[in-house]
Amino acid sequence: MAATYRTHMSIIGDILTTTRDEVPDETGASVTYLIRKANISYGRISKILETLVQQGLLEQTSSYRACKYKISSRGREFLQAYRGFREFAETFGLRI
């Protein structure tokens, strides 16, 4: 199967979807888990996670061994809106 280029927004969408739908436990998802699910490098995901926490879309929770991330209510709303805009762009055959 040919590799598909993912935009910055679609990576953010993937991260938020993972933290909403696929968290392994209640404390949230670890960076390692998110790297595996979103399929991006540590350097890149760190910057994105920092921005998402600053924007209030993700909540950072400290656990015994490392930081974990959970989607916030604002993040859920954003994800819903993002899907709407993605749908809008896709009707034009485009990606956001």
Partner 1 sequence: MEFALEIILNLVGFGVGLLIGIFAHIGFKNTGSPTLFRLTIAFLSISIGFGVVGLGYMSDSFFIHSGKIETEIQTLGIGIQTVGYFFIAFSHGIKSFFPKSRYLKSIVVPLFIIPGNSIEHIIRSISFILLVYGTIETIMSYMENRKTSTIFVASGLGLLALGEFLGWYSVVFPKSVLYVISISTKIVGLGALFVPISKVPLRGMKFGGNI
Where do contacts with partner 1 occur on this chain (CB under 8 A)? Answer: 7, 9, 12, 51-52, 55, 57, 77-78, 80-82, 84-85, 87-96
Rounded CA separation 45/32 (Å): 10
Residue showing tokens 């910055």: 8
Kindly state the smallest distance separating residue 64's Cβ from partner 1, in Å.
30
Of 41 and 91, nearer to partner 1 (C-beta) is 91
Of 64 and 92, nearer to partner 1 (C-beta) is 92
Of 23 and 58, nearer to partner 1 (C-beta) is 58
Kindly state the smallest distance separating residue 11's Cβ from partner 1, in Å.
11
Of 23 and 57, nearer to partner 1 (C-beta) is 57
Concatenate the DSSP letters of all residues of 36-63 into one string: HHHT--HHHHHHHHHHHHHTTSEEEEE-
Q: Which two tokens stand for residue 49?
A: 């996670």
Rounded CA separation 95/25 (Å): 32
